[in-house]
Amino acid sequence: EADIYQTPRYLVIGTGKKITLECSQTMGHDKMYWYQQDPGMELHLIHYSYGVNSTEKGDLSSESTVSRIRTEHFPLTLESARPSHTSQYLCASSVLGGRSGGPPKETQYFGPGTRLLVL
C-alpha cells in the first residue's frame, strides 16, 4: 500500500481566501504530481515535479502554484480561491520501475484526495 497523504480531505472556503493543500509521501519518490478531477470526469495534470527545487506546469491551465523544498512534501497553493476552483485535487508520486534490459517505467501512486468547495 502506498504511503501518500493529503490534508485536508475536505475544505469549504469563501471566495478570495488563500488556501494550501498539503501532500506528503514517505516512499522517497522523486516525482510528484497534482491532478484536478471533477465528478465523473478525467484526471487532468496541473503540476508536477522531478525532485527538490523542480516544478513544472501540466496540461491543464491552473491558477495554483506549487513548491518542492523537500522530497517528501509537495504543497499546492491558491492565492485567491474562486468558485471555479471547486473540484477534487489528487496528489500522486511515482517510482522508477525497470525491467532488466528495458527502459525505466513508472507507476504513479495516489493520495486520497482533497475535495474543495469554494463558495
Residues lying near another protein in the complex (CB under 8 A) are found at 2, 6, 40-43, 45, 48, 56, 58-59, 88, 90-92, 97, 99, 102-103, 105-113, 115
Cα–Cα distance between 8 and 17 in angstroms, integer?
15
Q: How far is the CB of 109 from another protein (least distance, A)?
A: 6
Of residues 13 and 95, the one with the C-beta less far from another protein: 95
Q: How far is the CB of 80 from another protein (least distance, A)?
A: 26
Q: How far is the CB of 100 from another protein (least distance, A)?
A: 12
Q: How far is the CB of 43 from another protein (least distance, A)?
A: 4
Note the Cα 98 to chain centre separation in Å: 24
Interior angle at CA 18, CA 20 and CA 81, nearest 5: 100
Cell of 77: 497553493
Cα–Cα distance between 51 and 33 in angstroms, integer?
11
Of residues 65 and 109, the one with the C-beta less far from another protein: 109
Cis peptide leading into 104, omega within 30 of 0? no
Of residues 82 and 105, the one with the C-beta less far from another protein: 105
Query: 4, 23 in Cβ contact below 8 A?
Result: yes
Of residues 13 and 43, the one with the C-beta less far from another protein: 43
